[in-house]
Structure 1
Amino acid sequence: MTLKTPWTYVCGVYPFFQGDFEMSITSTGTIAAIATPPGDGGVGIIRISGEQALSIAKDIFHPAKDSFSGFKPYTMHYGTIVDADSVEIDDVLTVFMPGPNSYTGEDTVEINCHGGRAILSAVLGEVLAKGARLANAGEFTLRAFLNGRMDLTQAEAVAEMIHAPSRGAAQLAKVKLSGVLGERISGLRLRLEELRAQLCVAVDFPEDELECLPLEQMQSEVGDAVKNISEILSGVERTKAWREGGLAVLSGKVNAGKSSLLNALLGRNRAIVTDIPGTTRDFIEETLNLDGLQVRVVDTAGLRETSDAVELAGVDMGRDLASQADLVLLIIDGSKPFALADLDPQFADMADKCLAVINKSDLEQADPSPAVIMRESGYEVVEISAKKGQGIERLAALIREHILQGAGEPDPDELVPNSRQAASLKKAHVELEELMGDIAMQVPYDLLGVRLESACSSLSEITGEITPQEVLNSIFENFCVGK
């Protein structure tokens, strides 16, 4: 695994250098890292894995009880960690988990100490001084994969659990962490490999009277595989918002109340609000949790003609963000005269992606009403007062509803592949559909075997039986250090 990382500080105190180096996929040596997030906390954990884990723990751990006779596996032992001069660093709880029945499949020790930065750095320093090296990003999970403790779908699910933007996303990752997706993919691949074996018999012994799979039965088997893959892929788009969160962009003319609305949604003053047009020149992004759904809300520069190069760049950036958004909130000042021609041309044919938010409902409304004009033009409308907080809860509910687009709550038992897994499944799906056409045309067995081999290879990439080094690199280097 090639990592290019500058000088970094563990918990902001203990410096280490990862530099430019090539880590073999056959990871060796005893590794250690802080397994809890940087910063101060009640508890911090130092994780050690490898053949020296137990001996290091014995060197630096002093038990509180005289009756202590050694580390009993999977049992918390209370004592202190001492440095090379026998000075106590902290009171700790230490547990030893022998391989292969540990997370990594190797001897593993976890030291639970107070979560202060200085304490964690000092304890980690003693562990490294005894012969361990600092773990690379994701190296504990990499070892679990290499040691057969999990397949690649489970390894990726670990990272997905950590970074899940919603409870629904965490549940979807949990299903994969159990190994169900890997088992289903492996079952599909195994059946296709059996078909390959039967084709090889027909190709290698064409003149022998050996039993060969009839083409009709082969087409049926391949059709079942295509159906299975389609079922697995069916939830990818539907659950995207749960897995990745949504993007809602606030757009509209200057002084329509976009920044005030952002502040109202957040329940705090995040954006500067003034009567001066063009106050917001860049975009401001914040995250909302709407009943378990994570939504990025972006306040963009007000739309108007301007000769100010900086403001113009902000306007262009806002339009670009709107084109990428799951939902665009068109903020309109309901107290001022409005015509449909006032809408930015970008949103003229985007009623299905836009929600017309008529702001300043606490003031006397213009005649004709902007709300009526937008409804008659096919836009869904919600009337609010960002300043008074009126209609904000209704608006938040509509944002959630639009981004989910009727997907509903995720099925807690549903198998949903991530983008990498989905790409490999789609490649296999295409090959198998082409194979069904080839079978119908009675293409020679050896050519049918090439398609089967390609489909099997794509499925193997998902579970890790056959996965290029660069793919493994990209997966594990995105993990946090300590997991």
Structure 2
Amino acid sequence: METIAAIATPRGAGGVGVIRISGPRAREVLAAVFRPSADIAEFRPWVLHHGVVLDDDGPLDDVLAVYMPGPRTFTGEDVAEIQCHGGVFLVQAVLEAVLRKGARAAGRGEFSRRAYLNGRMDLSQAEAVAELIAAPSREAVRYGLQRLEGELGRRVEDLRVRLDQARVQMCLAVDFPDDEVECLPPEEFDGIVRDVADGIASLLAGCRRAAVMQEGAPVVLAGGVNAGKSSLLNALLGRSRALVTDIPGTTRDFLEECVNVNGLPVRLVDTAGLRESGETVERLGIERSREKVTQADAVLILLDGAALGEEGATATVCPDAAALEALKLAGDLPVLLVWNKIDLCRPACFPPVWAQGRPCVMISARTGEGVDELASRLHDLLLRDAEARPPEDGLAPNARQALALERALEEIKALRGDIRAGRSYDCLSVRLDTALAHLADVTGVDTPDEVLNKVFSSFCIGK
């Protein structure tokens, strides 16, 4: 392979910049641009050396350099790194000096791709590298680390090997029907397939929660005009982001902001108050509000406690027309009813009679009272489903891996049906091979180049 190089630290000025070199000429390229401050016969592997990096015009910077021989490196190749001062021009100048001495500029994710191709990690581990870098929360970091350590790949490979062993026994029975070859009984075959299906289902159980942790959950603030949606958005953000006035219909369009809710990344969406309006712009904003409610992971329905009064919670039917519409739009989505403005009026009973067991919380978005409890309730609401909770080891697949596992599970379920229907082993082998191929996609066994290109194109340059 060619020797590649790239800046491994983020763009922009910083205290330190790192240029990474990987490939068969890594040591040669490093020696060509680096002059050590002390006489050394050769680079001591895995030891930082102090010196000066040079280009064709002379010294560039005072640096530290390290040479790391393969295969015990990230890429499995010889690797060298130069740590220079982190000025934008300086880091780029050092990289250009390295490229002029025989290295090629690395593409997106090329270091991780080489690690995968050289057997240093499977595809699920390579993806974990990018996910760990982009992790928006501590829980997302935990999931990324678990996959990076290879536990997900090992679990999937174990399932694949168990299916493959059954396939070998099937092939022997099909290819040598006249020989005394021990045939896999259908009952035993079905038992193996069932156990593999259970293992796949266990891995898929944490997919939803992992997606929330990695990407953030869209949560819509819905309700009538002047219910306090924008005030609550500002209270959760800890700053004034949305315009708040006493004029009904101030919010004309949705406003989206990201916030960390007890360790959970959440995308809060403030929407226009639900009501009938003859004004064109407001009417368009209300239609967008309705659309956003149906696309949310959870809905906070705000009730104007001051308008409903003390007895507003004792009715058998919700007296807030906008809240009723929001409940209908939300359907089966998780909903948290938020009685706002308790600084002006507290309900006579709580939770409201008409809530019918739905989770409720009382707050004052203006004073902040109850907002911490709301954040805690929202966190639990988003993660409350038992099916959304991953195993304690955090082995939750990402979207690509989950799709491959789901396809494998579909084939296995159909395979079990064919086994019970008494299909011949040569027919059963078709579904079995397909399931094996989908499991192999998770870890990248025989993965086509187009899939690899798509995976690694999402990586940053230098990783």
Same fold (TM over 0.5): yes
Question: Are 1:43 and 2:16 counterparts?
Answer: yes
Shift of 1:356: 2.0
Match for 2:123 among 137, 148, 152? 152
Whether 1:404 and 2:375 are equivalent positions in the alignment is: no
Most deviating of 140-149 and 371-380: 371-380
Shift of 1:141: 0.4
One of 446, 449, 463 as aligned partner of 2:443: 463
Deviation at 1:185, TM superposition (A): 1.8
Q: Which residue of 2 aligns with 1:314?
A: 285
Q: Which residue of 2 aligns with 1:385?
A: 364
Name the CA distance, whole Å, in 2 between partners of 1:169 and 1:186.
23
Conserved? CA contact 2:274–2:322, under 8 Å: no
Which residue of 313, 321, 343 maps to 1:362?
Answer: 343
Instruction: Tell me if 1:301 matches 2:272.
Output: yes
Distance 1:374 1:261, change over 3 A: farther
Structure 1 residue 282 corresponds to structure 2 residue 253: yes
2:95 alignment partner in structure 1: 124
Q: Please name the residue that 1:85 is paired with.
A: 57
> Aligned residue for 1:480?
460
Does the 8 A contact of 2:216 with 2:267 survive in 1?
yes
1:75 aligns with 2:56: no
Output the amino acid matched with 2:413.
Answer: E
Within a 5 Å distance, the mapping from 1:176-195 to structure 2 comes to 176-195=147-166
Provide the alpha-carbon RMSD of the alignment: 2.4
* Structure 1 residues 471 and 374: CA distance shift in structure 2, 3 A: farther
Aligned residue in 1 for 2:316: none
Q: Given that residues 374 and 380 in structure 1 are in contact (C-alpha distance below 8 angstroms), is that contact kept between their aligned partners in structure 2?
A: no
Q: What whole-Å deviation, never above 9, does each CA across 1:132-167 have from its counterpart, x for those lacking one?
A: 222111111011111111111111111121122221
1:45 shift after superposition:
1.4
Call closer, same or farther: CA 1:311–1:43 in 2, change over 3 Å: farther
Match among 256, 260, 263 for residue 234 of structure 2: 263
AA in 2 matched with 1:38: R
Which residue in 2 is equivalent to 1:34?
7
| 1:103 Cα deviation after fit | 0.7
Q: Which secondary structure state, in structure 2, belongs to the residue aligned with residue 80 of structure 1?
A: strand
Q: Distance in 2 between matches of 1:220 and 1:412?
A: 26
- Partner residue in 1 for 2:334: 353
Secondary structure at the aligned position of 2:84 is classed as: strand
Normalising by structure 1, report the TM-score: 0.87
Deviation, 1:364, is 4.3
Length, aligned pairs only? 452
| Residue number in structure 1 paired with 2:181 | 210
- Contact 2:48–2:66 (8 Å) recurs in 1: yes
Partners of 2:334 and 2:195 lie apart in 1 by 37
The answer as to whether partners of 2:303 and 2:338 remain within 8 angstroms in 1 is yes
* AA at the equivalent of 1:395: L
Aligned mates of 1:52, 1:227 — CA distance in 2: 48
C-alpha distance in structure 2 between counterparts of 1:78 and 1:291, whole Å = 44
Q: What is aligned with 1:8?
A: none
Q: Tell me the distance in 2 between the aligned counterparts of 1:181 and 1:93.
A: 36
Query: Relative to structure 2, which stretch is displaced further, 298-307 or 137-146?
Result: 298-307
Q: Deviations over 1:256-280 (max 9, x none)?
A: 2222211111111112222333332
Q: Residues 60, 78 of structure 1: CA spacing in aligned structure 2 closer, same or farther, 3 A cutoff?
A: same
In the TM superposition, residue 244 of structure 1 has moved relative to its aligned partner by 3.3
Task: Please say if 1:102 is aligned against 2:73.
Answer: yes
TM-score, structure 2 normalization: 0.90
Q: Distance in 1 between matches of 2:228 and 2:462?
A: 45
| Segment of structure 1 superposing worse, 469-478 or 310-319 | 310-319
1:104, distance to aligned residue in structure 2 (A): 0.8
User: Which whole-Å CA distance do the structure 2 matches of 1:188 and 1:261 have between them?
Assistant: 48
Q: 2:373 aligns with which of 394, 398, 402?
A: 394
SS in 2 for 1:311: helix
Once the two structures are overlaid, the 10-residue window that deviates more, 346-355 or 136-145, is 346-355
Task: Measure how far apart 1:344 and its partner are.
Answer: 5.0
Q: CA 1:281 to 1:129, structure 2 compared with 1: closer, same or farther past 3 Å?
A: farther
Among candidates 437, 446, 459, match of residue 426 of structure 2: 446
1:424 aligns with 2:424: no
**CA distance, structure 2, for counterparts of residue 352 and residue 139 of structure 1:** 41
What is the DSSP-based 3-state SS (H/G/I as helix, E as strand, rest coil) of the residue aligned with 1:285? strand
After superposition, the C-alpha distances for 1:343-397 in whole angstroms (9 at most, x for unaligned) are 35242374862222222222246xx869665754544332222222222211111
Q: Where does the alignment leave 5 or more consecutive residues of structure 1 unmatched?
A: 1-27
Residue 85 of structure 1 deviates from its aligned partner by 0.8
